[in-house]
């Protein structure tokens, strides 16, 4: 899989793609992640990529030309299954969407900024608009990182234990059961006895019951799905 991220703040994504599971997945060749500085594609001699909005509204708007040039350069090289625009107006990102995107071949993520992008880009080039939640970020980079992270960890081989991506919270619309590690007794705070029983059936039942109870208490909306 290949993910191309188009941004005016490439530095913001540097650490993200070079650390932890995402970096390991790249090294293993499971995913190629390429960050593009939108300013490299502008025809403006001052490297500007935004301008004032028509109609006298407040804020600045990202212009068509550099975005179109960048996307055209990418699509001339290979087919893209999705051209995603990160925006609070978009469809709400969730685990089923991450699962679906993890099965794609190549995707582009265009990070929104300023007041937005010229609407013609959204009409003519973008295939999907995604929001990571009902709040407004200063730019789409954190959204692009969240979407990329959620996709990459689903790629086969990305995380050590093949089971663990499937047992994540939300994969079955349930929150995860609590987890514990050594020591068994920390300042009198005890690990539940069942986890030390060695009885796999009892442990599995406990895990299911905990997942259900926590979901009912903390996220009853998930049980309605």
Interface positions with ligand ADE (CB under 6 A): 86-88, 112, 131-133, 135-137, 140, 143
The answer to whether 38 touches 71, Cβ cutoff 8 Å, is no
Token code pair at residue 112: 């929104």
Of residues 66 and 140, the one with the C-beta less far from ligand ADE:
140
Q: Measured from the CB of residue 3, what is the shortest distance to ligand ADE in angstroms?
A: 16
Q: How far is the CB of 73 from ligand ADE (least distance, A)?
A: 23
**Minimum distance of ligand ADE from residue 1's CB (angstroms):** 21
- Three-state secondary structure of 104-129: CCEEEEEECCCCCECHHHHHHCCCEE
Residue with Cβ nearer ligand ADE (82 or 172): 82
- Least Cβ distance, residue 106 to ligand ADE (angstroms): 21
Looking at the Cβ atoms of 131 and 148, the one nearer to ligand ADE is: 131
**Tokens standing for residue 138:** 């200063």
Q: Closest Cα partner for 159 from 17, 32, 34, 30?
A: 30
Query: Are the C-beta atoms of 223 and 215 separated by less than 8 Å?
Result: yes
Nearer to ligand ADE, 137 or 150 (CB): 137
| Closer of 87 and 102 to ligand ADE (Cβ) | 87
Q: Minimum distance between the CB of residue 128 and ligand ADE, rounded to whole angstroms?
A: 12
Residue 182 token pair: 């050594």
C-alpha separations of 154 from 99, 101, 145, 225 in Å: 7, 10, 14, 22
């Amino acid at each position: 899989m290949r993910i191309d991220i188009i941004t005016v703040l490439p530095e913001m994504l540097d650490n993200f793609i070079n650390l932890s599971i995402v970096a390991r997945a790249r090294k293993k060749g499971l995913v190629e992640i390429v960050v593009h500085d939108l300013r490299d594609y502008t025809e403006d001699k001052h490297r500007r990529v935004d301008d004032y909005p028509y109609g006298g509204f407040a804020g600045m708007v990202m212009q068509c030309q550099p975005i179109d040039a960048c996307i055209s350069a990418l699509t001339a090289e290979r087919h893209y299954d999705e051209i995603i625009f990160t925006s609070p107006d978009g469809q709400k990102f969730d685990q089923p969407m991450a699962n679906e995107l993890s099965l794609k071949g190549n995707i582009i993520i265009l990070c929104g900024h300023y007041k937005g992008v010229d609407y013609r880009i959204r009409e003519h080039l973008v295939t999907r608009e995604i929001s990571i939640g009902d709040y407004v970020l200063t730019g789409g980079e954190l959204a692009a990182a969240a979407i990329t992270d959620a996709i990459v960890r689903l790629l086969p081989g990305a995380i050590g234990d093949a089971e663990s991506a499937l047992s994540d919270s939300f994969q079955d619309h349930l929150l995860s059961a609590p987890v514990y590690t050594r020591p068994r007794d920390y300042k009198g705070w005890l690990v539940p006895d069942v986890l030390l029983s060695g009885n796999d059936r009892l442990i599995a039942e406990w895990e299911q019951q905990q997942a259900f109870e926590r979901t009912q208490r903390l996220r009853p909306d998930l049980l309605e799905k």
